[in-house]
Structure 1
Amino acid sequence: MAGWTARRLTCRGTAEYPFSRPDTNAFEDQIMASNSDTLVTVFGGSGFLGRYVVRALAKRDYRIRVGVRRPELAGHLQPLGKVGQIHAVQVNLRHPASVRAAMRGSEVAVNLVGILTKSGRQTFDAVVAKGAATVAETAAAAGARLVHVSAIGADPASASAYARAKASGEKAVLAAVPSATILRPSVMFGPEDQFANRFAALALISPMLPLIGGGATRMQPVHVGDVATAVADAVDGRTKAGAVYELGGPDVLSMREIMRIILRVIERERMLVPVPFLMARLMAMGLQFAPGPLKLTPDQVALLRTDNVVSNTATAAGLTLQGLGIAPDSMEAVVPQYLWRFRKAGQFAPKGA
């Protein structure tokens, strides 16, 4: 085995390629040629996680078909790969015929489709549960491998409709494709997130930030790039068949601690006000129709009743980022790179101002 190295290529292009291989250009060309013959269909590839997954797969030289509801709004994906490598097509998971068309000739399906709040016909059951079943059944019929992204907290007994739908989707996926890989990330952060950006934006318009349930709920925020690398590793076939991976960052933080990190980064002082769950639910009845960072739904309040962290079982089994050989980035290390825009003087704010 002398002369062999294990390299992994992440979506940020700073780490290394995920195959043990001789360190020669000829072997690298062989690997890339193999991947370039493989078509991967990514459902929901234009969203927050999607753009990072598409970039990670493009760097590994896969051909990528991106299934989205509005292909004309997916132009931002094209520069992530070479000319002709990435192609967006119209897909709606509520319409099985469009899913079948998107899967034609594809060897791997990646399902990233998810919604945080329901709207019209885009309900948790229709998109998260039945949509996952449609993708899985189509992949099974096509003989394609399947990577399905769910979420930590997926639980058929949860008080949250979102979490119940996620659990239902996982069950449908494994019923149709028992060898599928399921990835459950904790709350994701990154430049386009609806997490750190949301609370930073709220701090601009409010003198106080609410701590629902007292801010004791624990989370394990994970960088979107690390999740994308895990998805690409699963496409490569580096994950265990039929396994459920739980993906969390290096730190377990309470919501109070997360709020303090955000306020420290944006250099603003705000009151952190504990709000009991019952009061938060009553507030959410009205705020579920609010715009922007003010929006809060009763289902989101229900989610906050349960910690969102990697389980001891997943850690012991190696079904984590670390188990895949990925060293996750911390929230404190990454969020200053994009939350600076919420400071009073933006990127030009002097330290300690």
Structure 2
Amino acid sequence: MATALNGKLVTVFGGSGFIGRYIVRSLARRGYRVRVAVRRPDLAEHVQPLGVPGQIMPVQANLRYRWSVDRAVEGADAVVNCVGILNQSGAQTFDAVQTFGPRAVAEAARAAGIKRVVHISAIGADPEAESGYARSKAAGEKGMFETVPEAVVFRPSIVFGPEDDFFNRFADMARISPVLPLIGGGGTKFQPVYVGDVAEAVARAVDGEAKEGTIYELGGPDIKTFRECMEDLLSVVRRKRVLVSLPFGLASLNAQFLQLLPKPLLTVDQVKQLKVDNVVSEAAIKDGRTLNGLGVEAHTLAAILPTYLGRFRLHGQYDEHRAV
């Protein structure tokens, strides 16, 4: 952890979330002061111990209210936007958060004379996509580049780590359910990327090591199908479960009912997303617009999953030294 500050301030929108807290930690280790801009600063106190006393400060900001965004970037040397949602709820819609939000951040940064802006998008961002999530991500990128052409955009594949919403969710399901569903047959391809590697890439971009006006695609060392991800998960948690194929049509029908829950296990839009592979493109690899191109050595699933999924074993972490 940094013991001296470098005199520069970075505002991180969404810095208390899953990806955001790792970005905050990476920046703090480099000596940046970090302003964590979130809707509920009172719920963001967990980020302050990631730096030395006084280095990290939560402030109130809501991307739907431009004045709060302007206030959050005042005096900053760089801005990072990692606000995103997987499910729409109330006023937190894809358009509000992922289309309007990035443009608001970019406009505030431009007005403050800040050119070093980093934005987290997602692999699959496409204005013609069937998924509303993917369309809103593409629109957010467009607004970002139209406002701050020098911005750097990162498109990660599915991000994994201790607080992720993918492996943790299915591991929790495996504790009580004898089966795990394979949406669309489980053939969708992912390139899972460790959250710490995404954070390192962002920190390097803030340092000025990324090419301006560029979209980077971030994926881990391994390309895995949905089925293979579930098989890896079950191996780590040491549970035998039946993997059942669920056609896209039936999955969409089930999702219509599930998305009525406060925190649905699956939404219709997520089913649409699963129809498209989520891997780094050949063009990005060729151009060096990847983790490797930034000099970041990616961690494998095999190295990281056991460090946080052990609690889902029959005897929790105490299964660590038991015979498999």
TM-score, normalising length: structure 1: 0.89
Corresponding residue for residue 171 of structure 1: 142
Corresponding residue for residue 340 of structure 1: 310
Matched, 1:298 2:298: no
Corresponding residue for residue 267 of structure 1: 238
SS of equivalent to 2:11? strand
Corresponding residue for residue 283 of structure 1: 254
Partners in 1 of 2:200 and 2:314 — Cα distance? 34
Matched residue type, 1:61: G
Corresponding residue for residue 296 of structure 2: 326
Q: Shift in Å at residue 107 of structure 1?
A: 1.4
CA contact (8 A) 1:289 1:295 kept: no
Q: Quick check: which has more Rg, 1 or 2?
A: 1
Percent identity over paired residues = 57
Matched, 1:258 2:265: no
Matched residue type, 1:210: P
Q: Shift in Å at residue 347 of structure 1?
A: 1.5
SS of equivalent to 1:109? strand
CA contact (8 A) 1:184 1:246 kept: yes
Equivalent position to 1:82, from 42, 52, 57? 52
Corresponding residue for residue 136 of structure 1: 106
Corresponding residue for residue 200 of structure 1: 171
Partners in 2 of 1:161 and 1:52 — Cα distance? 27
What is the root-mean-square deviation of aligned Cα atoms in Å? 1.4
Partner deviation per Cα, 1:261-308 (whole Å, 9 max, x = no partner): 00010010110000111111011001112366x621000000000000
Matched, 1:155 2:126: yes
Partner deviation per Cα, 1:111-142 (whole Å, 9 max, x = no partner): 00000100000000001110111001111111
Corresponding residue for residue 91 of structure 2: 121
Partner deviation per Cα, 1:166-190 (whole Å, 9 max, x = no partner): 0000000000000100001111110
Matched residue type, 2:111: A
1:124 to 1:88, Cα distance in 2 relative to 1, 3 A: same
Q: Which stretches in structure 2 are left out of the alignment for 5+ residues?
A: none
Corresponding residue for residue 243 of structure 1: 214
Equivalent position to 2:23, from 53, 56, 77? 53
Q: Shift in Å at residue 340 of structure 1?
A: 0.4
Matched, 1:110 2:80: yes
Q: Shift in Å at residue 351 of structure 1?
A: 4.1
Q: Shift in Å at residue 153 of structure 1?
A: 0.5
Q: Which stretches in structure 1 are left out of the alignment for 5+ residues?
A: 1-12, 14-27
Partners in 2 of 1:62 and 1:131 — Cα distance? 24
Paired residue total: 322
Corresponding residue for residue 100 of structure 1: 70
Corresponding residue for residue 191 of structure 1: 162
Partners in 2 of 1:248 and 1:348 — Cα distance? 32
SS of equivalent to 1:99? helix
CA contact (8 A) 1:219 1:254 kept: yes
Worse overlay, 132-141 or 166-175: 132-141
CA contact (8 A) 1:290 1:296 kept: no
